[in-house]
Amino acid sequence: MKRKLNLRKILVLSIIILLGFSTFSCTTRQKRKIERIPETGIMGVIIPVSGEGEVIESQPRDEAVINCTFMDNGGGKVYTVNPDPEGRFKVLLKSGNYRIEIFLKGFKVKSLEVNIPPNTMLDLGEIKLVRIETQMGKPFLGEEDQTPLLNEGDVSIQPPSS
């Protein structure tokens, strides 16, 4: 009688173990399929630099704005993201042509045009944003005339001409 009971226990345990392995095997296969799906988009890291090219460590990088404008088929759709505090970003996009514009207050805008092939994560690498600087800290008159104003307080306001 003891032998029959032991045989039953062994048989039941064997069935449970086999069912467990088959369930584990199925879930592992499903995970592998999900992991193999290639991502499409862009990635990179934003580096704020001075006019001389020196990295500005104190500048918060996560304040940058990255606009990705889809240009195919009439385009116009814009995807906007921010990088992490270290300046790294990753944007999942469909394949096609994009205009990438990166903004950071006090820095020159960086503009790129890229073609993202299907199933490709395009690495843009380090994108250096150059800080906007003026001569001797004096404001400029405008983009055309780069002569600094000598006396900032001396402003002559003229009435509109008729």
Domain, as residue range, for 125: 41-136
36 found inside a domain: no
The enclosing domain of 56 has a CATH number of: 2.60.40.1120
Q: Where do the DSSP E strands lie in the chain?
A: 41-49, 65-70, 78-81, 88-92, 96-103, 110-116, 121-130
State the pLDDT confidence band at 137, using cuts at 50, 70 and 90.
low
Domain count across the chain: 1
The answer, yes or no, to whether residue 27 has pLDDT greater than 70, is: no
State pTM to two decimals: 0.60
158 found inside a domain: no
14 found inside a domain: no
Q: What is the pLDDT of residue 103?
A: 94
121 found inside a domain: yes
130 found inside a domain: yes
User: What angle (nearest 5°) sits at the alpha carbon of residue 135, between those of residues 130 and 141?
Assistant: 100
